[in-house]
Amino acid sequence: MKIALISLTENGKILANSISTAMEDDPTVIKVDTFHKNVKKTLNNIFNAYDCIIGIMATGIMVRKICTLLKSKEHDPAVLIIDEKGEHVISLVSGHLGGGNEFSIKIANIIKAEPIITTTTDINHKLGVDSLARKYYLNIDDVSKIKEINSSLINDEQVKLIFNTKFNFIVDDDDVNRTYDTFLSKSNLIIICDSSVTVNLDPKKIVVGIGSRKNIKSIDVVNAVKYAFKILDLPVKRIDLMATGHMKQNEIGINEAALELGVPIKIIPEEVLKDFKNPDLKGSNFVMKKFGVMGVCEPSALIAAGDESTLIFRKTPYNGVTVAIAVSKN
């Protein structure tokens, strides 16, 4: 997630800087930038460039400044509000698909504040269809149907979740079991339906990019991947593909780890890695000196996930292995 913090007062600026510092070691945070004052101009410039915008200011100020920038729940970033004393974190916009509710809780835990969540499914302890899609990185075929499905959940009407056995990880989720009646099918989609509406959820591609020291053991690679997915709160069964650079194609440990995890592995050619550019990637001088490319695991993950893919877990070392995770746009 790419985060923008906008403060208005000096106390707010101090709080923004402390939040930014606290998130430096969070591998799920890809980028954090802080801005001070000039709220309207800043929002006009950055609104579509970040996944989450956090305003440390009065709620009314933010509401007035973003009202002309909002498009739809599919595309709007999450917008959070924090008072300058850091006592409350309000999930204002895109609480489900944009991850605002989840991130409000994360920020509240960091600054010891109270998260304010007002979405009806959440306060009724239901996993809305849009929250399910966000949690497992699923595309929703028709977002206009979200309201009716979630209304059925809130009214305790039967809502079915129909899935293929390859999505078995879903039924291990207590929130899913509490919210939906689950049924098996042979469809390659996850189907949600009530008495009158059907929504199809199509899984995005999740790719694990791997780099490692020479002669790495497969157990170290597997453990590094499991560590990353534990942080993401995702089951490793959700992995679609592993990827690494050409310089690691003969690493037995990486190839054996892919077999153990039951996923194919894609080797990214040297020229593709060299040509790849992404402004959010910092790169490594060590890797550039040794292999002539700015990185291995992050570019490999993004390239294998396809055009307009995004990182959801930035390069993180773990016992001689570096892991990055990307998700496709569709």
Domains 2-118 and 206-327 share a fold: no
Distance CA 203, CA 107 (A): 28
**Segment 282-308 mean pLDDT:** 85
Distance CA 161, CA 183 (A): 6
Q: What is the pLDDT of residue 281?
A: 81
**Segment 277-285 mean pLDDT:** 78
Q: Are 149 and 194 in contact (CB under 8 A)?
A: yes
Q: CATH 3.50.50.60: does it fit domain 206-327?
A: no
Q: Are 302 and 309 in contact (CB under 8 A)?
A: yes
Q: What is the pLDDT of residue 157?
A: 96
Distance CA 54, CA 84 (A): 12
Q: What is the pLDDT of residue 114?
A: 98
- At the topology level of CATH, where does 2-118 sit? Rossmann fold (3.40.50)
Q: Are 206 and 238 in contact (CB under 8 A)?
A: yes
Q: Are 33 and 3 in contact (CB under 8 A)?
A: yes
Task: Give the Cβ contact number of residue 306 at 10 Å.
Answer: 15
Q: Is the pLDDT of residue 285 over 90?
A: no
Q: What is the pLDDT of residue 294?
A: 79
pLDDT band at 328 (very low <50, low <70, confident <90, very high): very high
**Segment 140-152 mean pLDDT:** 95
Q: Are 250 and 274 in contact (CB under 8 A)?
A: no
Q: What is the pLDDT of residue 280?
A: 78
Q: Is the pLDDT of residue 284 over 80?
A: no
Region of poorest pLDDT, from 72-76, 106-110, 208-212, 254-258: 72-76
Digit-coded pLDDT (tens) for 202-214: 999 999 999 999 9
> Is 299 exposed, middle or buried (CB count within 10 Å of its CB: 0-12, 13-18, 19+)?
buried
Integer-rounded Cα Rg, in Å, for the chain is: 21
Average pLDDT, the chain: 94
Count of residues making up the chain: 330
Q: Are 110 and 28 in contact (CB under 8 A)?
A: no
**Segment 213-233 mean pLDDT:** 97
pTM above 0.85, yes or no: yes
Closest CA to 111 of 31, 21, 1, 30: 21
What's the 3-state SS for 93-145?
A: ECCCCCCHHHHHHHHHHHHCCEEECCCHHHHCCCCCHHHHHHHHCEEECCHHH
Digit-coded pLDDT (tens) for 156-205: 999 999 999 888 888 889 999 999 999 999 888 999 999 999 999 999 99
Q: What is the pLDDT of residue 171?
A: 82
Q: What is the pLDDT of residue 168?
A: 86
Q: What is the pLDDT of residue 272?
A: 93
Percent of the chain predicted with pLDDT > 70: 100
Q: Are 142 and 201 in contact (CB under 8 A)?
A: no
Helices (H), the chain: 10-22, 39-46, 59-66, 100-111, 120-123, 129-136, 146-154, 174-179, 218-232, 252-261, 270-275, 285-291, 297-305
Q: Is the torsion defined by CA of 234, 236, 237, 238 positive or negative?
A: positive
**Segment 50-72 mean pLDDT:** 96
Q: What is the pLDDT of residue 74?
A: 87
**Segment 286-315 mean pLDDT:** 89
At residue 157's C-alpha, the angle toward residues 156 and 161, to 5°, is 105
Domain locations along the chain? 2-118, 125-203, 206-327
Q: Which two tokens stand for residue 166?
A: 């390859």
Task: Give the Cβ contact number of residue 248 at 10 Å.
Answer: 23
